[in-house]
Structure 1
Amino acid sequence: MSLRVLADREVKNDPTRTLKKSLKQLQINPATWEDFAQDRPAWRRSAKTGSAIYEANRITAAKAKRVTRKSPAPRTNTANAQALPT
């Protein structure tokens, strides 16, 4: 079944899609994760470093978004503004 058909049926929590999204966030290749998971210490290291990178990027993006939101909007001085010529 295509994803479009699944979307039409309103399948919101497709486990495969959720797993692939999580693996991509941890920078683990979704095609080879099963083989990679066989080596438990390497898997744990990769998951830890991937999650640290993801969290750092998430926090940086949130801070940038917060700065943008908190910065004052540019104000126009309406007292000195002139009417546009018609």
Structure 2
Amino acid sequence: MEFYGITGKTSQLIKSCLSDRYRRMIIDNNIWTKYYSDWEMVSKGIPQDSILGPLLFLIYINDLPFILKDAGNPNLFADDTSIVFSYPNSNL
């Protein structure tokens, strides 16, 4: 994030939203009782339905066209990405 100028309090805020998170699974069979798993720390990923999710995804894939410039042509739109490869001299 620092590469793109996200520093200081903004960087600290984003890091705090992504660190020290825990999760557990709840199974509710709607008949007798609920079952709960143990809490476990989340070490990777972005929470679903978060406001930061789309922004962080765009930052993550921002350099993809430059990385693939000789291998393929990536088409980026919102959270959807496709890569087109063409081989004009291939014998397919």
- Decide: shared fold, TM above 0.5: no
Q: Which has the higher helix share?
A: 1
Structure showing greater radius of gyration is 1
Q: Which has the higher strand share?
A: 2
> Which structure carries more relative contact order (alpha carbon 8 Å, separation 6+)?
1
